[in-house]
């Protein structure tokens, strides 16, 4: 099938590359000429394991190409995916200017019976809004489908190639069936292709992310309560997780969620409710808990140093909002760094891939290191923010040797409290007490 993907961010680039890998002819379009040139040269602007090799392989095979000009590829396309960003507006709602701009850019070149597929995360009603605009610009009845993405950064390729399900919303059953044909190579293990209305598909994406965000905020709030009552959240998590109605997924306490989806989508769905006069009380609490949770490590550090962090050397491991990505959007690390800087701490940081992105935001207010142990030289405390694999089993004897004070505040509960205490560390996790 001849496919065009508008947008080369995480969703657009992964979607286009995976569709090309299954034999389709795919052209990815982006307005950023510099990014397009880099992609043509096999340079990936984001960090996503396995994506660079897949882009290069499919480009070399002639199935994947990149351009800034919709006019060069849209006229021959059977399916046109819109996979541009929907950033958070000032009131928390999703800003649709890029989605509408993409629709208007492709409208003059759409062939008859082409399907415009909205991959971007958009509020309920957006697909119909886009359809009305396309109908107006083309003078005909344009086919449209809603196809929300469920990709996890760091595992995006596997999520696309082996999905739990594929959701498609449409008005016309024939449109849904055409999209089904496109996805059949990825559904050979009998994973479901779920057909539904446009509004239901739009809502499914938001509800999925808000449910996962709710689980994270819930376990974090319970972890904080465990510290106060003398319980261990790790024991509690095991105690509830074996209940099949609850399960273990997304019940790992930490320093809060971040990234491009959960914060934005929770607030966008809250904004939808507000527009309709409906108070989404649970989502309000989820967002509020997560905002507070990002301060947990700083508050622990401040208490340890009796609210005097000035001149204290603090090491920080992990800057990206999660492992296997360089994404720092709404990352808990940024909140910690800003608070430490404001308190006058001498901050030394490490992350396997996210340092360049943090440098663009924080600048030279902290010291960056290419090796995790280099942050520890005479450090008075270590704060762990992101659970990268290389932090899970470090050389603790060497850490004891390097640090001025063997103090660790573990925001991801990577280590066992009893073992750390025996080794000679002052150790504090999330929801873990002595």
pLDDT tens digits for range 280-326: 999 999 999 999 999 999 999 999 999 999 999 999 999 999 999 99
Q: Is 129 annotated among the ligand-binding residues? A: no
Q: Is 363 annotated among the ligand-binding residues? A: no
Q: Is 66 annotated among the ligand-binding residues? A: no
Q: Report residues of the chain scoring pLDDT below 70.
A: 434
Q: Is 254 annotated among the ligand-binding residues? A: yes
Q: Is 311 annotated among the ligand-binding residues? A: no
pLDDT at 83: 97
pLDDT at 48: 92
Tokens of 114: 């082409």
Q: Measured on CA atoms in the order 165, 168, 174, 175, is the torsion positive or negative?
A: negative
Residues of the chain with CATH 1.10.1040.10: 206-292
pLDDT at 434: 65
pLDDT at 88: 85
> Mean pLDDT in the chain?
96
Topology of domain 294-428 in CATH is Rossmann fold (3.40.50)
Q: Is 86 annotated among the ligand-binding residues? A: yes
Query: Given the DSSP bridges, would you call strands 407-410 and 426-428 parallel, antiparallel or unpaired?
Result: parallel
* pTM of the model as a whole: 0.93
pLDDT at 405: 97
User: Which residue in the block uniquely carries the two structure tokens 């919303």?
Assistant: 169
Angle between helices 233-241 and 198-229 (to 10 degrees): 140
Long-range contacts of residues 179-185, Cβ cutoff 8 Å, at least 24 apart:
179/79, 179/115, 179/117, 179/145, 179/147, 181/1, 182/1, 182/3, 182/19, 182/24, 182/79, 185/22, 185/23
Q: Is 131 annotated among the ligand-binding residues? A: no
Residues of the chain with CATH 3.40.50.720: 2-196, 294-428
Residues sharing a CB contact under 8 Å with residue 366, sequence separation 6 or more, in sequence order: 316, 337, 340, 341, 347, 348, 349, 358
Q: Tell me the CATH number for domain 206-292.
A: 1.10.1040.10
Q: Is 119 annotated among the ligand-binding residues? A: no
Tell me which DSSP letter residue 76 carries.
Answer: G
Whole-angstrom distance between the N-terminal and C-terminal Cα of the chain? 60
**CATH H-level, domain 2-196: superfamily:** NAD(P)-binding Rossmann-like Domain (3.40.50.720)
Catalytic residues: 261
Query: CA geometry: angle at 103 spanning 98 and 104, to 5°?
Result: 95
Distances from the Cα of 108 to the Cα of 71, 101, 292, angstroms: 8, 12, 48
């Amino acid at each position: 099938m001849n496919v065009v993907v508008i947008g080369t961010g995480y969703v657009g680039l992964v979607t286009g590359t995976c569709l090309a890998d299954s034999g389709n002819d795919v052209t990815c379009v982006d307005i950023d000429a510099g990014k397009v040139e880099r992609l043509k040269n096999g340079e990936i602007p984001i960090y996503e394991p396995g994506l660079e090799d897949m882009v290069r392989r499919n480009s070399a095979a002639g199935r994947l190409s990149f351009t800034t000009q919709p006019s060069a590829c849209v006229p021959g396309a059977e399916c046109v995916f819109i996979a541009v960003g929907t950033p958070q507006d000032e009131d928390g709602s999703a800003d649709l200017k890029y989605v509408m701009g993409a629709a208007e850019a492709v409208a003059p070149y759409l062939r008859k019976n082409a399907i415009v597929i909205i991959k971007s995360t958009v509020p309920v009603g957006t697909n119909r809004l886009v359809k009305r605009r396309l109908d107006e610009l083309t003078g005909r009845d344009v086919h449209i489908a809603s196809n929300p993405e469920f990709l996890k950064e760091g595992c995006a390729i596997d999520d696309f190639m082996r999905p739990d399900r594929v959701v498609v919303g449409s008005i016309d059953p024939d449109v849904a069936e055409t999209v089904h044909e496109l996805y059949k190579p990825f559904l050979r293990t009998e994973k479901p292709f779920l057909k539904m209305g446009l509004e239901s598909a739009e809502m499914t994406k938001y509800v999925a992310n808000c449910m996962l965000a709710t689980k994270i905020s819930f376990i974090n709030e319970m972890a904080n309560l465990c510290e106060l009552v003398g319980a261990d959240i790790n024991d509690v998590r095991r105690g509830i997780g074996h209940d099949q109605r609850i399960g273990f997924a997304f019940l790992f306490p930490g320093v809060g969620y971040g990234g491009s989806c959960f914060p934005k989508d929770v607030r966008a769905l809250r904004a939808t409710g507000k527009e309709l006069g409906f108070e989404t009380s649970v989502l309000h609490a989820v967002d509020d808990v997560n905002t507070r949770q990002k301060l947990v490590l700083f508050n622990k550090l401040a208490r340890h140093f009796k609210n005097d962090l000035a001149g204290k050397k603090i090491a920080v491991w992990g800057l990206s909002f999660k492992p296997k990505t360089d994404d720092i959007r709404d990352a808990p690390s940024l909140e910690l760094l800003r608070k430490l800087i404001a308190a006058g701490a001498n901050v030394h940081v490490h992350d396997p891939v996210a340092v360049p992105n943090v440098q663009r935001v924080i600048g030279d207010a902290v010291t960056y290191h290419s090796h995790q142990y280099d942050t520890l030289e005479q450090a008075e405390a270590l704060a762990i923010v992101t659970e990268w694999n290389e932090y899970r089993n470090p050389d603790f004897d060497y850490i004891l040797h390097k640090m001025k004070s063997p103090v660790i505040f573990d925001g991801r509960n990577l280590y066992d409290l009893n073992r750390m205490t025996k080794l000679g560390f002052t150790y504090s996790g999330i929801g873990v007490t002595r």
